[in-house]
Amino acid sequence: MLGIIGGTGLTQLANLKIKRRQIVRTPYGEPSGPLSYGDICGYEVIFLPRHGHGHTIPPHLVNYRANIWALHSEGVRDIVSVATVGGIHEDLHPGVIALPDQVIDYTQGRKNTFHDGGDMPVKHVDFTEPYCPRLRGLCLEAAQNINESLVDGGVYGCVQGPRLETRAEINRMERDGATMVGMTGMPEAALARELGINYAAICPIVNHAAGRGNSVHHIHYEDTADVLNETMERVRKLIERMVVGHAC
């Protein structure tokens, strides 16, 4: 079963024919919202909006453990996440869609493991390659089939949020090797790995990171709405084609 996690700008999938919605209880509390069970082009998927249906949950308060556990308990073994980011590398400007292959975690204080004592023994998972090559390949193939350009590869720098970063912080991240910056990539990817779920992220760039491009002095986040809407429409088409490829 394929699960899709939607982020900013993707609180619902217009091309998802919903059959039912269900609240799933987990040992880690409630997920961000009810799971939506439906199909895209006749193929079953489960959709979950990361920030809630009204986009009311900030990045640092998302119950990532409950979200991943709920999807896993419903039979999801592959997850495609959509997470908007700011572009650090000069090639990652607003309107570009990237498919990261690495991540650096700058967050703090988030519940980032299922194995933190109690009844769950400590478990160390290999995280050398945080994103599933097979799912990334399906995304790239889907993009090619619909003539959509994807940047293949990149390093997702995950920050705490919800505030945006300073120029100095972005400079540090660039020195670390990060090419894009977001707030939700971790611990989501690591939690999926702990449960043996294959995971890939589709990252639309909706703004330049601090001190980059036209945001040398200020980032006007409200100005990203047009780019966000246009890019998300392309992401929906990409996901639709990817779902078909996943089922074949």
Q: Which residues carry a binding-site annotation for phosphate?
A: 8, 50-51, 184
Residue 94, token pair as written in the block: 């607003």
Q: What are phi and psi of 120, to 5 degrees?
A: -95, 115
Q: How many helices (H) and strands (E) does the chain have?
A: 5, 12
Binding-site positions for substrate: 183, 207-209
Residue 21's closest CA among 32, 10, 9? 32
For residue 209, what are its two tokens? 């990171």
- The binding site consists of 8, 50-51, 183-184, 207-209
Q: Do 33 and 48 meet the contact criterion of CB atoms below 8 Å apart? A: yes
Backbone angles phi, psi at 41, to 5 degrees: 55, 30
Q: How many angstroms separate the CA atoms of 138 and 241, rounded? A: 9
Residue 75, burial from CB neighbour count under 10 angstroms (0-12, 13-18, 19+): exposed
